[in-house]
A and B are shown apart, each in its own frame.
Chain A
Amino acid sequence: MSINRRQFLKIAGISTILGIGGTAVVNGLRKGDLEASQMEPNPEGLTAKRWGFVVDMSKFKSEADVKRVIASCHDIHNVPDFGNPKDEVKWIWKDDYEHVFPGQENEYATEEMKGKPFMVFCNHCAYPACVRVCPTKATFKRKDGIVMMDMHRCIGCRFCMAACPFGARSFNFRDPRGTDANGQPFIKHLDPEFPTRTKGVVEKCTGCYERLAKGKMPACVEASNGGIVFGDLEDPNSEVRKLIGKNYTIRRRPELGTQPSIYYIIGGNENA
């Protein structure tokens, strides 16, 4: 199945030379036909040179804004809720300034700043440490900048979790399909269109690759009412680049050189 025309020509050529033409070529042809059937990208799919996010903190006004965004992701991706921090799996969540930007804390910051709910999820770094360390290429970087997980291949060594300087990765310490002591399933609403994970693999935000392929924006972006903006960082006319050009933005731990692709507009008062 997995031969392309070039390989087919090679097989056909070699088998003819060896004089065993006959059946080998016929088989090759049949398979070649199927390959002529080919695979192609979805024409509606969104494409970019390097996807990135801008998180505009001024749009996160209430707890409801945060919850809506988290639910929009966790519901469609069958992210389990184990109800304890030890086994916790999360793709997108919130934390406060001091913990999202350690090393940039400001002890005299306003109470308003200290209390802001910063949305955190995988940074889809340009030079991701997790991809560098993965021994099976189970986590890899796509051409469009999305740092992707191949759950079929992950052996659960958790090297990526040690390597990620952003704590973006979660491990399935137990079976996400299971139920708690009261018989309640860990995945409250099973979305039949998306898989779950199995115990023993690492997972994280995958940039809604399944939605991008269908021409849709990531779920959190759609649910955030402009709080999270998504676009091509390499395209100077993209909305993300315009926002980054107009506002003062910061990224998490840029000194580590991974080049995170999430930019935060801190806002604050008038000096945005």
Chain B
Amino acid sequence: MLEKALSGSRRYWGWVFFLLAVIGAGVIAYLFQYQYGLTITGLSRDVSWGFYIAQFTFLVGVAASAVMLVIPYYLHNYKKFGRIVILGEFLAISAVIMCVLFIFVDLGQPTRVMNVMLHPTPNSVMFWDMIVLIGYLTLNLVIGWTTLGAERKEVAPPAWVKPLIYLSIPWAASIHTVTAFLYAGLPGRHLWLTAIMAARFLSSAFAAGPALLILLALIVRKTSKFDPGKEALQSLAKIVTYAMTINVFFFLLEVFTAFYSNIPGHMHPLKYLFLGLEGHSRLVPWMWSATILAFVGLALLIYPGTRRNESILPIALISVFVSAWIDKGMGLVIGGFVPNPFERVVEYTPTLPELMISLGVYAIGFLVLTVLYKVAIAVKEETEGVEIPH
């Protein structure tokens, strides 16, 4: 089926070569980092994880969100999602690949990465994260490719895929739960040491992931003959609405606990993020932008008139997505390190090479996504109008 990605319009090839150029720039920046070490990033001994790990965390959520299509379609037989469930699975594949790459570029000794398998350490959450991510990638590759292949031949997918699909549902929850455990089990990092971390991760993932998916589906509809279906997208938008509401609610729970209890350690990171601490306030504008975007997005989504309007819906979805990205892709990781264990504030800003490497990783993800979507859509266009059982 992959050959379908080799023929396309000028616009398709223009996009592919643009991505390749961004990847090239990222690779050059990475070689620079490989040579000189992580000193070229904004990281320090006080803020020892930054943009890379934050992107990894955010993208695990995007990957997990495929389950928001799988559950209604396969468990509740919601047929409308049949047309787009493959888009969710392929988005998951590209997101997991980006996750793995973000971990890789964050390593100080990337050539030793296999030590994680050579010396398996079950007491490390990182070890389990590797297992669940590799497993999830494999599951989605196998499921996506097999079901699409069957669809192309206009037959029902083989029976052995079904158990794998059911397995992928708890597995999706597990990748984001385990990723939350990376943070939530560490003593002495107050922002992270919270029992609802995994729940917050999942709710924010199920808001941001499907939001991105709807936006992608709208792009697909514009650039191809394949129509994902208005009703399917509206149902997804409702999922985004519920998930984002829960996400904001969970966050407010954290704010209440920290500030009503008045425990300094719990208040400091939140104060740093939203008000600034000891004169350091680099993230304050970002966090308030995220807050405003969250409420704008929610308002537009909750009111049915604006949600159903397909020219306003993208604005709402972009608001939700950017809000979740700022919250997880910047605030969460950096806020966990500020203040440091000595209650001192050391700030962090990603550097240009760091951002170039990150863009390169995103470009690789989008290239994978483009190729996979091209294949999927070509198949969909061929089989347009054929009803296939699942």
Contact = CB atoms under 8 A, between A and B. Distances in A.
Task: Say whether A associates with B.
Answer: yes
Interface in A196-213: 198-202
A170 interface: yes
B55 to A, nearest CB: 15
Contact of A174 (B39, B186, B342, B344): B39
Interface centre among A132, A166, A173 (most CB of B within 10 A): A173
Contact of A133 (B118, B186, B341): B186
A155 B342 contact: no
B188 A253 contact: yes
A253 B186 CA distance: 14
B45 A200 contact: no
A200 B109 CA distance: 5
B123 A173 contact: no
B186 A173 contact: no
B37 A175 contact: yes
B42 to A, nearest CB: 8
Query: Which has the most chain B C-beta neighbours within 10 Å: A155, A161, A174?
Result: A155
Contacts of B189: 162, 165
Interface in B114-152: 115-116, 118-119, 121, 123-127, 130
A158 B126 CA distance: 11
B40 to A, nearest CB: 9
Contact of A171 (B45, B103, B130): B45
B48 A158 contact: yes
Main secondary structure of the interface of B (DSSP, over half): loop
Contacts of A171: 38, 43, 45, 48, 108
A174 B37 contact: yes
B39 A87 contact: yes
Contact of B37 (A133, A200, A258): A200
A200 B115 contact: no
B340 interface: yes
B372 to A, nearest CB: 29
Contact of B121 (A137, A164, A170): A137
B346 interface: yes
B278 interface: no
Nearest to A130: B186
Given A85-B44, A136-B121, A200-B107, A155 B37 contact: no
A126 interface: no
Contacts, number: 149
Interface in B332-360: 336-337, 340-344, 346
Nearest to A99: B342
B265 interface: yes
Interface string A142-186: 000000000001111111011111110111111100000000000
Contacts of B125: 133
Contacts of B43: 86, 171, 173
Contacts of A138: 115
B113 interface: yes
B389 interface: no
A100 B342 CA distance: 6
Contacts of A83: none
Given A165-B341, A253-B188, A153 B124 contact: no
B10 interface: no
B188 A165 contact: yes
A195 interface: no
A161 B124 contact: no
B188 A256 contact: yes
B44 A87 contact: yes
Nearest to A200: B108
A192 interface: no
B227 interface: no
A99 B337 CA distance: 15
Contacts of B344: 99
A160 B299 CA distance: 41
Contacts of A136: 112, 115-116, 118-119, 121
A264 to B, nearest CB: 15
A103 interface: yes
A99 B345 CA distance: 11
Given A153-B112, A155-B112, A155-B116, A173 B39 contact: yes
B293 to A, nearest CB: 28
Contacts of B49: 158, 162
Nearest to A167: B341
B126 A133 contact: yes
Contacts of A162: 48-49, 183, 186, 189, 336-337
A86 B118 CA distance: 32
A202 B112 CA distance: 14
A135 interface: yes
B51 to A, nearest CB: 14
Contact of B130 (A85, A135, A165, A200): A135
Interface in A217-267: 253, 256-258
16 contacts: A86-B39, A99-B343, A129-B188, A133-B185, A137-B119, A153-B119, A154-B108, A161-B45, A164-B341, A165-B188, A166-B188, A167-B46, A169-B45, A173-B41, A174-B37, A174-B38
- Report the 8 A-B pairs with minimum CB-CB distance, sorted nearest first: A156-B108, A165-B188, A200-B108, A135-B126, A167-B341, A173-B39, A199-B37, A102-B343
Interface of A: 85-89, 95, 98-100, 102-103, 129, 132-138, 153-159, 161-167, 169-175, 198-202, 253, 256-258
Given A155-B115, A162-B49, A200-B108, 12 more contacts: A89-B45, A102-B342, A129-B187, A134-B124, A156-B112, A162-B48, A162-B336, A165-B187, A167-B46, A174-B37, A175-B37, A202-B108
